[in-house]
Structure 1
């Protein structure tokens, strides 16, 4: 087979070109034609309602290319070659056929914008394959970016709501249900103040009973766990709480003992996970006895 192709290389290539032309007759290859890639990108963005995003991408790309040209020695995957036919300068990539860096980036963007759903699915799959540490880094950076760019955050939210009005309706419904639930709890406490005080006192008594007298040497460890919950709330924007792994008031008192208010029985989890767990006993995979490595003070 190899000798056949080597001896008839021109003939095979000609047949392949004819076949490609026949199968793609009347079609336009959006990634490779005589039009400037910026024009094609704007056309694809217009079809997918991504005009603003495309313009921002082009501005950022030109700025990156300008900075890379000035500091070309620090970019091992770029070099200065022949002038681009579309007037993008001499910055080129070392990959494959040494294409113009700007043209290559824009063609990749054309492919992403034209196959938005597939790209989003692949992006989500890539995120879920990451380790928990890398996910936390991404979440922290996103939270910091949102905090430093509140106006941009509002624009993105408004655009998403305009594209997906059903999500807005679902969000409003959930918020109304949450507010209704909170209002119902508050109203119940107003109608039954004695019962609310009884439950509050019971919880306080459980914690006092679950706190051993020698816990003072670990008070700083407990304080650091509560500080960690506040820190996670500020970083992620999601409410975190301190949960007792073995509940203070277990649902099934016959199966297991009452938990203690000690550092090795505390963990930081989200409020939603804490509400879902409630006072259920931990499963075998959640509770494994290990020596406490904290330092008593």
Structure 2
């Protein structure tokens, strides 16, 4: 048992953190004078009063041990995927406005590159858009993708079954060549595969 010099309670030794200097502990046990709870409160108060020092300290540690910390983090994340997913879900709910601001800032930095890609995409679609294409059906497909994204909480996209732009084939931007699929599947599909493609090109 040991008395905490902050809250003055007699607590079990397990309630105290060990100090790196054994001579600072009580009776040579190497225990800190304050219990874990009181130490945490003190640390939080100090951090609050010394935000700039804390930021500088953390930045210095990060730069010094960046690779090591990234490896440790990667290992932890791989072993705790469910915890990480739950943490990110709660973080997004709590920081919705902040996340939107970050996304907006990121988009603003890439605005020129995004415009180039969008314009290129529009040009390809315009050239591949036949007169007989049913615009109503196509509009419904895009609406369906939005509704599924909203209801199912994952991104859905309108995919061109036969790619519009590929080294091997160029499909049409029409109702006969689109499907609504999850974004993850669309990304993995890319423009390298399509139904009934020649076997030697798969």
**TM-score, shorter chain, exceeding 0.5:** no
TM-score tier, shorter chain, comes to 0.3 to 0.5
Under a length normalisation based on structure 2, what TM-score does the superposition of the two structures give? 0.43
TM-score between both structures, scaled by the size of structure 1 = 0.31
Q: Which has the larger radius of gyration?
A: 1
